[in-house]
Amino acid sequence: MKVLVLNGPNLNMLGIREPALYGKGTYNDLVEFIRNVAKELDLDVDIFQSNSEGALVTAIQNAYEQFDGIVINAAAYTHTSVAILDALKAVGLPTAEVHLTDINSREQFRKLSYVSMYAQKTVCGKGFDGYRECLNWLKETAN
C-alpha cells in the first residue's frame, strides 16, 4: 500500500515554532517517526511538505492513480483552502486528516476544517502519534 503524507505551512518550523504548543520535536523528527511507523505497518510512504497552497494541491492531484491513500496535515490551510478540499474530492482517495494540536480547543477560526468536509478520518491533539493512528486507519481501511 502506497500512502502520500502531506504537511502544510510552518510544519517545517516544528521545534522552533511555539514549542509549548507543538512540542520540541523537529520536522526531521516527524519525518523519521512517520517512516518508522510506515515500516512497522509495511506501508510505502512519500512525505511532502510545502508552505505553498498550490504545491499541496498539485501534490494531491499527482496522487491520482499513484497512491492508495492520503494523510494530510494541511496546517493553516485546513481553515481556509477550498482548493485543497476540491483537490481531495477530485482524486477520490481515502483520506485521513491529522493535526498535532486539538484544533477544536483552540481559537474559534481553527474549528472550521475544509479538509474534514472530505476526509473520512480526523485525528487531533495526539502529536506525532496522530500520524500513526491515521496510517493505521488507512491500512485497516484498505483490507
Active site includes 99?
yes
CATH of domain 2-142: 3.40.50.9100
Domain boundaries, the chain: 2-142
pLDDT of residue 37: 98
Q: Considering 64, 77, 79, 99, which one is annotated as catalytic?
A: 99
Look up residue 47 and give its three cell numbers: 512525505
User: Which 8-state DSSP code applies to residue 95?
Assistant: E
Residue ranges in the chain assigned as alpha helix (H): 19-22, 27-41, 53-62, 82-91, 129-142
Give Cα 41 to chain centroid, integer Å.
17
- Taking only the tens place, the pLDDT of each residue in 8-32 is 999 999 988 877 777 789 999 999 9
Mean pLDDT of 127-136: 97
Question: Given this model, what pLDDT does residue 138 score?
Answer: 97
> Region 77-84: what's the mean pLDDT?
95
Q: What is the pLDDT of residues 46-63, one digit of tens each?
A: 999 999 999 999 999 999
Nearest alpha carbon to residue 47 among 107, 101, 98, 104? 98
Distance CA 8, CA 1 (A): 23
pLDDT band at residue 143 using 50, 70 and 90 as cut-offs: low
Q: Would the pTM count as exceeding 0.95?
A: no
Identify the pLDDT of residue 24: 85
CA 136 to chain centre: 13
With a cut of 90, say whether residue 112 has pLDDT above it. Answer: no
